[in-house]
């Protein structure tokens, strides 16, 4: 057996993981930016509760998060039944459900990085923009958002890396269906349960480590480049 000689099932798991992590992260970014800005700049009743709910997936067992998703967004759940009946959208036991679970698990990292970036932005630049006649929306789009871009980028890549490694919530919510919901972590788990599957598990584990490390390096590199450009 040659090292890094993947079977079609292994390639499917790799491609599906990249797809799930990408979709889960991209869909999370707009909501993450909104919530991070609200937590960083606004005062409103229940702010502490919202902050706690956002970070809850970090402290909950992933299996519990997956079970909550199954109760809420499964076919018989209140949200899942509504989406299925009115829009034909089904998450449970589909790759889209895996993307939802991955996005939920990576969401706290995304929000935290963006929030810190909003809090660190120089408000004197915002005041200058308003002095020149820019309204709140224009100021946000042309001043605040570009200043927060390093945090948005770093948070997105961290969420992507987290999504690549998500296991507990995924397998609980969408199971472990080959070609549909079997991502890298669930494929590794499957091979560890099969006699003689250690080699395949080791290969996929190496791929997971490399992809996660690359994501972190890219996040650091691009964040520094963007920070330097903004500073310049």
pLDDT digit string, tens, across residues 138-174? 888 888 888 888 889 888 988 999 998 899 999 999 9
Q: pLDDT at residue 111 above 80?
A: yes
Is 223 inside a domain boundary?
yes
Which residues 6+ apart lie within 8 Å of 100 measured at CB?
Answer: 24, 69, 73, 91, 173
Our count of domains for the chain comes to: 1
First and final C-alpha spacing in the chain: 52
Side-chain half-sphere exposure of 49, counting CA atoms within 13 A:
3
Cβ atoms of 62 and 166 within 8 Å: the answer is yes
Extract the tokens encoding 83.
């989406």
- Number of Cβ within 10 Å of residue 124's Cβ equals 8
- Domain of residue 173 covers 8-231
Confidence of residue 225 (pLDDT cuts 50, 70, 90): low
3, part of any domain: no
Digit-coded pLDDT (tens) for 183-193: 999 999 999 98
Residue 212, token pair as written in the block: 């996660």
Q: 122 pLDDT exceeds 80?
A: no
pLDDT 10s digits, 32-82: 999 999 999 888 888 899 999 999 999 999 999 999 999 999 888 899 999
Q: Considering the domain boundaries, does residue 208 fall inside one?
A: yes
Tell me what the pLDDT averaged over the chain comes to: 87
Question: What is the model's pLDDT at position 131?
Answer: 81
- Domain containing residue 45: CATH number: 1.10.3720.10
With 50 as the cut, is the pLDDT of residue 1 above it?
no
Best CA proximity match to 112, nearest among 73, 148, 165, 71: 148
- Indicate whether 219 pLDDT > 80: no
169 touches 60 (CB < 8 A): no
As a whole-number percent, the residues of the chain with pLDDT over 90 amount to 41
| 1 part of a folded domain | no
């Amino acid at each position: 057996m040659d090292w890094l000689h993947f079977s079609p099932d292994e390639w499917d798991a790799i491609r599906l993981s990249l797809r799930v992590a990408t979709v889960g992260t991209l869909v999370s970014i707009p909501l993450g930016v909104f919530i991070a800005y609200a937590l960083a700049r606004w005062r409103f009743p229940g702010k502490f509760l919202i902050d706690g709910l956002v970070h809850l997936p970090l402290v909950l067992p992933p299996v519990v998060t997956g079970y909550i998703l199954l109760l809420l967004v499964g076919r018989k759940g209140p949200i899942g039944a509504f989406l299925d009946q009115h829009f034909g959208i089904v998450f449970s036991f589909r790759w889209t459900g895996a993307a939802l679970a991955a996005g939920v698990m990576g969401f706290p990292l995304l929000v935290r990085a963006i929030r810190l970036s909003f809090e660190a932005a120089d408000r004197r630049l915002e005041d200058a923009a308003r002095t020149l006649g820019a309204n709140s929306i224009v100021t946000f789009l042309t001043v605040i958002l570009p200043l927060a871009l390093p945090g948005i980028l770093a948070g997105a890549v961290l969420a992507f890396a987290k999504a690549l490694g998500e296991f507990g919530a995924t397998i609980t919510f969408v199971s472990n269906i080959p070609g549909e919901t079997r991502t890298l972590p669930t494929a590794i788990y499957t091979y560890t349960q099969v006699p003689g599957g250690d080699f395949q598990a080791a290969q996929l584990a190496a791929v997971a480590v490399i992809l996660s490390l690359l994501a972190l390096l890219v996040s650091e590199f691009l964040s520094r480049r963007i920070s330097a450009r903004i500073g310049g």
